[in-house]
Amino acid sequence: MLVALLFWVFLAGGAAPNPARVGVFFEGAQPLDGWDLPQLELASLQEPEADGLAAVNAFCAAAGEGFSAVLGPPLGRGAETLESLCARLQIPFIQTRWAPRRPPAAPTSFNVYPDADLLAQGLAALVASLDWEHFVLLYEGDLAMLQDVLKLQQFRPDSRKNSVMLRKLGAGPDHRALLKEVAAQNVRRVVLHCAPRKVRALLQQGMEVGLLSDFSTSVFLSDLDAHTLDFSHLEIERADLGVCDFTITQERSELIDFSLPIMSLGISILHKETEQEAIDNMYGFMRPFSINVWLHTITLYLVLSIAILLIARLDPDDWENPHPCNPRPDELENIWGFKNCLWLTLGSIMTQGCDILPKGICSRVATAMWWFFSLIMTSTYTANLAAFLTMSRKEEAIKSVEDLANQNKVKYGVMSNGSTQAFFQTSGNSLYQKMWATMKNENPTVFESTNAKGVERVLSTKKGLYAFFMESAQIEFELARHCGLKKIDQYLDSKSYGIGMPLGADYRRSINSAVLQLQENGKILELKAKWWKRGAVECAQGGAEGNKDELGLANVGGVFVVLAAGILLALLFAIGEFLWNVYSIAVQEQMGYLEALRSEAKFACNIGVTRKAAKPALSAPPSEQGDADGMERCILAGAGSVLNINASLLNRLGRQ
Binding-site sequence positions: 247, 252, 419-420, 471
Nearest to 304 by CA among 206, 370, 228, 233: 370
- In contact, 481 and 274? CB cutoff 8 Å: no
- In contact, 481 and 537? CB cutoff 8 Å: yes
Cβ count within 10 A of residue 85: 17
Rounded to whole angstroms, the Cα distance separating 67 from 84 reads 15
Residues 6+ apart with CB under 8 A from 626: none
- In contact, 293 and 300? CB cutoff 8 Å: no
DSSP state of 469: E
Rounded to whole angstroms, the Cα distance separating 604 from 602 reads 6
DSSP state of 72: P
Give the orientation angle of helix 176-184 with respect to helix 196-209, to 10 degrees.
60
- In contact, 418 and 303? CB cutoff 8 Å: no
Cite the annotated binding site for L-glutamate by residue number. 247, 252, 419-420, 471
What are the CB-based long-range contacts (under 8 Å, 24+) for 530-534? Answer: 532/476, 532/477, 532/480, 533/480
Q: Please give the full DSSP string across 446-457, using - where no structure is assigned.
A: --BSSHHHHHHH
Helix (H) or strand (E) holding 643: helix 624-655
Q: Please give the full DSSP string across 264-326, using - where no structure is assigned.
A: EE-EEEEEE---HHHHHGGGGGGTTS-HHHHHHHHHHHHHHHHHHHHHHHH-GGG-B-S-TT-
CA dist 513 → 247, 385, 508 (Å) = 20, 63, 9
Residue 257 three-state SS: strand
Would you state the torsion angle of the CA atoms of residues 572, 578, 580, 586, taken in this order, to the nearest 10 degrees? Answer: -160
- In contact, 187 and 137? CB cutoff 8 Å: no
- In contact, 287 and 342? CB cutoff 8 Å: no
Residue 307: alpha-carbon gap to chain centroid: 53
Rounded to whole angstroms, the Cα distance separating 378 from 293 reads 13
Rounded to whole angstroms, the Cα distance separating 273 from 322 reads 67
Residue 368 three-state SS: helix
DSSP state of 44: E
Q: Please give the full DSSP string across 167-211, using - where no structure is assigned.
A: EE--S-S--HHHHHHHHHTT--EEEEES-HHHHHHHHHHHHHHTT
Helices (H) and strands (E) in the chain, counts: 24, 17
Rounded to whole angstroms, the Cα distance separating 475 from 266 reads 10
Residue 485 three-state SS: strand
Radius of gyration in angstroms for the set of CA atoms belonging to the chain, rounded to a whole number: 47
Rounded to whole angstroms, the Cα distance separating 59 from 25 reads 10
